[in-house]
Amino acid sequence: MRVLVNAKIALLALIAGAILFGTHEISAQGNSRWAHEKNRVRKEQKAIEKASKREQKAIEKARKHGYRLHRGSDYYETDQRGVELIRRAINSGYQQGYRSGADDRRYARRSDYRDEANYRSGTFGYQSYVDRDQYQYYYREGFERGYRDAYTAQPQFGTYSGGKWSILSTVLNGILNLRSF
């Protein structure tokens, strides 16, 4: 009987040891998973903070390298890319206006650049990066000058170079009235 009791005690001790050891193993695995999850969340938070800092730096850079295009008492704020698109609008307007003015002069039509389809739409070459109204305004400014140069056959606002007409940089700068801020 004593052997049976000792066997039972040994069996209970073995079961208790297995339970304790198994619980420890489960607990260690749980802690390991918790630590892994905690590290993963921490890394994600750091990545978000890093992205946020990059975004803030980009915003600050844009502010430092921002531009204002002045039209009377109004102004339009943009960045370097926007300025380049507005410059293209003026130059493209000048070229289209020059073609229209030359055609009207050649065929002895009356001078009326406002009657031209490209002038009325003002969107030739438009890209949505800049405000449509701004693009149209600057395109029409270039168009009017190109038309006048061609119709009068006395270029004041542009020059012919490399097989095409382009607006003079001094005229372009006068139209833009560009200021950095």
| pLDDT tens digit sequence for 69-125 | 887 778 888 888 999 999 999 999 999 999 999 999 999 999 999 999 999 999 999
Separation between Cα atoms, residue 78 and residue 63, nearest integer Å:
9
Residue with tokens 């890319």, as numbered in its chain: 81
DSSP alpha helices (H): ranges in the chain? 2-64, 80-106, 117-121, 132-152, 169-176
Strand partners, 161: 164
Separation between Cα atoms, residue 133 and residue 178, nearest integer Å:
17
Considering only residues 134 and 65, tell me which one the structure prediction assigns the higher pLDDT.
Answer: 134
pLDDT at residue 152, as a whole number: 93
Domain boundaries of the chain, sorted by first residue = 1-64, 68-180
- Report phi then psi at 160, rounded to 5: -105, 125
pLDDT at 4 over 80: no
- Report phi then psi at 67, rounded to 5: -135, 155
pLDDT at residue 9, as a whole number: 62
Most confident of the following: 1-5, 55-59, 132-136, 166-170: 132-136
Considering only residues 150 and 68, tell me which one the structure prediction assigns the higher pLDDT.
Answer: 150
Going edge to edge, which strands form the sheet with 178-180? 74-78, 67-71, 178-180
Is residue 140 very low, low, confident or very high in pLDDT (cuts 50, 70, 90)? very high
pLDDT, average across residues 133-151: 93
* Longest CA pairwise span in the chain (Å): 131
The alpha carbon of residue 57 and the mean position of all alpha carbons in its chain are separated, in whole angstroms, by: 14
* pLDDT tens sequence across 15-61: 655 555 554 555 555 567 777 777 776 777 776 676 666 656 655 65
pLDDT at residue 10, as a whole number: 56
* pLDDT tens sequence across 144-174: 999 999 999 988 898 888 888 888 888 888 8
Angle between helix 169-176 and 132-152 (nearest 10)? 140
Assigned token pair, 89: 């609008």
pLDDT, average across residues 3-26: 55
* 8 A C-beta contact, residue 172 and residue 87: yes
